[in-house]
Structure 1
Amino acid sequence: MKKITGLLSIIFAFIFTIVLASCSSTSGVEVEKNVTATTSSITFELTFARNENLENKTASPYIKAFNYDETKEDNIGTYVSKQDCTFSGVYTSSTVTFTSLTKGAKYVFRFYVTYNQSDELIATWVESTLSDNKKEIKTVDDFLAMKDDRDGEYTLMNDIDFSGEKLTGLFNSSSQSFTGVFNGNGYTISNFLFESSDNGIFGYTKDALIKNVKIVGTDEEYLLNNLDEEGNPLELVNGNFGSRSDANIGTLVGNAENTEFVDVTIDNVNLSLKGNNKATLKVGGVVGLALNCSFTNVKATNISITSEKLCTNVYVGLFAGAINGDALETDNGTYTAKNTSASGEIKATLSYGSYEGNAYIGGYAGDLGSSGLVSESYTDADITLYRDPKTSNSNKFSLVVGGFAAGNLGGSMWVDGCVAAADIKVVAGSDSTTLEDAALSKLCTKTSYFGGFVGVINKHINRIENSCYVKKSAGLNVYALESETDEESNVKTLIVKNNVYANKQYDAILTNLVCANDDAFDTSVLASEVSAVVAKYLA
């Protein structure tokens, strides 16, 4: 009996060993990690050794996150969340991000692989979110690395010279908006170039703050180091955007939402672009589109916006393509813009196929439809527009131009203590070819408006107070024929022009709004810097 019992024990032990060996068989998954933490997220960049089980999808890796509990031996606290590892192409890499984490908190992450209908624990990691997101920027690489931490707080520690290096894909979609703080610390960012698909230095921003920074498109030293074969400085176009579909383009930000701008200067920037026949473009020297934003002490000088072909729906201004929405509440107050300015030129050829469209061109903004106050601001603008001779009268097109703003298409307009110093020239013909006289009606089959201060005052509640238009030299000139003469019938039927505003379609409060060249204007209602602009052209 004892022999039988001993034999059974040996058999049972052998069977148990076989079962245990079967249960301990592994997936063979090996992984290395690189971790990036912010104040609210932790990202694992996982690199896997080539593995047959991964490639055959018989092994499925995932990560579980737990709160860190120092009172427990394994430190595993309450469950937080689970993230599966997703792959593209060969099964050798995966990026997993845990979001909505607590600032400055420690977490336990357990890496599992589901294999043979069981969960195999591969590794345990302890990681922490940042207690703050403050980072210093000293190099071009530091600057470009901001895209990896969109909600960081950045401080520029010295001037950054891109020396012609391109700003590729920095915050270039709404889902990748910059949501942090950028403090230029008084330093300068210079000599940058955009890729044709970019929208601005900061492509998209949301709930962000940008302050204390100087932006210079091209400086003399950079030009001297970039000469052609004959030793002449090369022409630098900071943004040669080619032919674009729908886009918002600005030197600093293409598409800004709920963003505050404080103490920013932009100088010597050349933006060149073409539209296509179905495009909607909003282009500005500072921002393309500003929605619910605030600007304080923001100045743009020597801005050049040029286009060989502007099509369909375009909004162009030396400061902004369009400013819409409400005033943003900030520590400086609740308003849209205060003590801001833009100077430079807008030069474009309007070219249309068979599509219906509109162009809104303003010295300060193409569309100034914001319910927030714009005050103590001015533009010093030269606007020159030509008609592509190929454009026929089959087009349904309207052109609206204003020295300060074309109009308020996106909402109310509230302006107080502002000045448009502008020369505006619109010619029916081309600047490069001599043509027989072609009536402007071949471009504008819909009524078009041209005003020294504003083109069209649209519906909504509008207030324009204590502001004026002052001509720089030639003033406002619209030529219905290429020979730079007016044809009476064309001017009457197609164009409404006035030294201050072209057309007031709806009730608006217009107080002390005049053409300073023709009427006495009380400059005491203006800030000193804005008043100096008026005095310059009245001297």
Structure 2
Amino acid sequence: MKKNFYLFLSLLFVIVAFSGCTGDISEPIQDNADNNITEETTLHNETVPEGYIGIYTVEDFDYLRNSSTGQYILMNDIDMSNIDDWDGINFQGTFDGNNYEIQNYHFENGFFDTTTNAVISNITISANISETTYVRDDGTWTNGVGVLANCITTSYSESAFSKITNIKIKGEIHHTCGTEVGTIAGVVEPGCKTATVTMSNIVNEAKIICEGKYYSVVGGIIGSIVQQNSSDEDFPAFELLNAVNKGNICVKSEEADYSGSKIGGILGEGYGDIRSCDNYGQINIDCPIAKDDEENDGYRKNFICGGIIGANGYYTKGYTKIVGHGHMASINSCANYGSIISDNCEYAGGIIGYTVKDYDLSDCGNFASISGVKAGGIQGGGCYLAPLYNCINTGSINGTNQSGAIICDFFSNAPEPQNCYYLNNGVNCVGVKAAFPNVYSIEENQLADSSVINLGDSWSIDSNGIKLNSTIENSKL
């Protein structure tokens, strides 16, 4: 009865007021004098668009549960501080948050449980999660743990897609269970070789505090990406564009007893097109050094960390088995501004910690200090190293075992980095090789000198130094 009353009010409002009001949800206010943008204000749809159902209360989210393929729009902020129980919504439809906020979300896993072929946009979630769990009330397990969603996937149709855009997560998450965790999603699983999950304009401001014995995969935005049925290895089933992580990730483990834990400022582990992403969050890993699991095919058990991506797969001792789930097409125009602090992290890289497949890495920069057992300014190491183009590292690199201003571990048959720069602070370009002909050591007074640094059209350089154009754009998110 209550829900029908709200629906009647919304319909009445459409009839008697602003019924012709349509257009963009967000519009800049224009200054009439010079026609320049002077202030940007977030606007909301004041009426429920045709074909949508308006969501006004927590109880109204039952519409999404009972008709998961419909179209829904949030019509005001929702405060969940007095809600005691929440079952994550399994959803296949369209949900427009209308630039409103879900406030005081405090439950043990995602607002959505699993989304399939869903379009979710324009929502902020403010979370304060004291512990996480992957066990539902009925005893079954979630696939990962997230704030927006535990798992984002598609159906098995080759044309299936999911789209997530204009999302912000705020608050603090205490991660206490050993599964994949990310603020947007714990796990992303495109369901077919040419199905696609796309994400854009994503901001995380939430701090992730990992408190337990072991962790699987932790990402500031996404925990893990698994491309199912990926027989077409040339098709990246995941695309991430314009994502920013501002939340610190703190990991403390008394035991490194999990097979290859991966930590990433943007993505813990996975594949796809990763473009125009920035990490500002500090990553602090306090863990012991673990031994290889001799009884389980020699799986590696140490932590691996990257400012953007932890790793794109895993491997066993002696590389007797290398496992990856899908295709890493590229990491492009990504920058790390957050320090990685760890004495015992096996591999740490400003952009990626470790790679088990080849891919392209271009127009990326690290501007923060990186520490680990083996530490690299752009890449820690890997079974296969990416061709590196137009990259720069200005951060200090501190490997307790080995350091490289661009790459730490380098294989003799790997492609040499091209047109890369690093700040001369006493660390060689590569841990096992002093220099390459197309990698250049620069001094601090040259960082703002365009006659010395020429990284191409994706970069801007002025008296303040060098910065990615995508970072400048992301600052508006």
TM-score higher than 0.5: yes
Considering only CA atoms, is the larger Rg found in Structure 1 or Structure 2?
1
DSSP 3-state at the match of 1:336? strand
Aligned partners of 1:294 and 1:407: how far apart in 2? 19
Alpha-carbon distance in structure 2 between the residues aligned to 1:524 and 1:160: 43
2:225 matched residue in structure 1:
323
Q: Equivalent residue for 2:132?
A: 241
State how 1:455-534 maps to structure 2 within 5 Å: 455-459=353-357, 461-471=358-368, 475-478=369-372, 495-517=373-395, 518=423, 520=453, 522=455, 524-526=457-459, 528-531=469-472
CA distance change for structure 1 residues 368 and 521 in 2, over 3 Å: closer, same or farther?
farther
Residue 341 of structure 1 aligns with which residue?
244
User: Residue 339 of structure 1: SS of its match in structure 2?
Assistant: strand
| Counterpart position of 2:265 | 363
Question: Contact 1:363 / 1:405 at 8 angstroms: preserved in 2?
Answer: yes
Answer yes or no: is the 8 Å Cα contact 2:290–2:302 preserved in 1: no
Confirm or deny: 8 A CA contact 1:144 1:167 kept in the other structure: no
| Residues 142-161 of structure 1: pairs in structure 2 closer than 5 A | 142-161=60-79
Structure 2 distance, partners of 1:394, 1:260, is 38
Alignment of 1:115-514 (within 5 A): 134-166=52-84, 168-171=86-89, 177-194=90-107, 196=108, 199-217=109-127, 237-238=128-129, 240-241=131-132, 247-258=143-154, 260-275=162-177, 279=178, 281-292=179-190, 293-311=196-214, 314-325=216-227, 336-352=239-255, 357-370=259-272, 373-387=273-287, 397-409=301-313, 410-413=325-328, 414-427=330-343, 440=344, 448-459=346-357, 461-471=358-368, 475-478=369-372, 495-514=373-392
Q: Which runs of 5+ in 2 are unaligned?
A: 1-49, 136-140, 155-160, 191-195, 231-235, 294-299, 314-324, 396-422, 424-441, 443-452, 460-467
Please list the CA deviations of residues 281-331 of structure 1 after superposition, one character each: whole Å capped at 9, or x if unmatched. 1111211111235444332232211122141x511111110134299xxxx
Check conservation: 2:292, 2:301, Cα contact below 8 A: no
Does the CA-based 8 Å contact 2:290-2:301 persist in structure 1? no
- Alpha-carbon distance in 2 for matches of 1:356, 1:164: 37
Paired letter, 1:463: D
Deviations along 1:238-257, whole A, 9 cap, x unmatched? 35216877750111111000
Q: Distance in 2 between matches of 1:523 and 1:251?
A: 38
Q: Secondary structure at the match of 1:344?
A: coil
Q: 1:533, CA displacement in angstroms?
A: 8.0
Q: Distance in 2 between matches of 1:143 and 1:243?
A: 22
State the Cα distance separating 1:267 from its structure 2 match.
3.5
Deviation at 1:392, TM superposition (A): 7.5
> Do the aligned partners of residues 148 and 379 (structure 1) sit closer, same or farther apart at CA in structure 2, a change above 3 Å counting?
same
Describe the SS at the equivalent of 2:76: coil
Letter of the aligned partner of 1:400 in structure 2? Answer: I
CA pair 215-274 structure 1, distance change in 2 beyond 3 A: closer
Name structure 1 gaps, 5 residues minimum. 1-131, 172-176, 218-236, 328-332, 428-439, 479-494, 535-539
> In the alignment, is the contact (CA less than 8 A) between 1:162 and 1:190 conserved in 2?
yes
For this pair of structures, how many residues does the alignment match? Answer: 323
CA contact (8 A) 2:134 2:142 kept: no
Quick one: distance in 1 between partners of 2:217 and 2:144?
9
TM-aligned CA deviation for residue 150 of structure 1: 1.6
Question: Once superposed, what is the RMSD of the aligned Cα atoms?
Answer: 3.1
216 and 418 in structure 1: CA distance in 2 versus 1, 3 angstrom threshold: same
**Larger proportion of helix:** 1
The residue type equivalent to 2:92 in the other structure is T
Question: How far apart in 2 are the matches of 1:146 and 1:533?
Answer: 32
Corresponding residue number in structure 1 for 2:6: none
Please report how far the alpha carbon of residue 214 of structure 1 lies from its aligned counterpart in structure 2 after TM superposition: 2.2
CA contact (8 A) 2:204 2:221 kept: no
Conserved in 2, the CA contact under 8 Å of 1:310 and 1:348? Answer: no
Q: Conserved in 1, the CA contact under 8 Å of 2:261 and 2:304?
A: yes
Give the distance between the partners of 1:503 and 1:383, measured in 2 at CA: 18
Instruction: Kindly provide the amino acid, as one letter, of the partner of residue 300 in structure 1.
Output: V
Relative to structure 1, is the Cα distance of residues 139 and 532 closer, same or farther in structure 2, using a 3 angstrom cutoff?
closer
**What is the letter of the counterpart of residue 288 of structure 1?**
G
- The one-letter code of the counterpart of 2:311 is G
Identity, % of aligned pairs? 21
Shift of 1:500: 1.4
- TM-score, scaled to structure 1: 0.54
Q: Classify 1:341/1:533 alpha carbon distance in 2 versus 1 (closer, same or farther; 3 Å).
A: closer
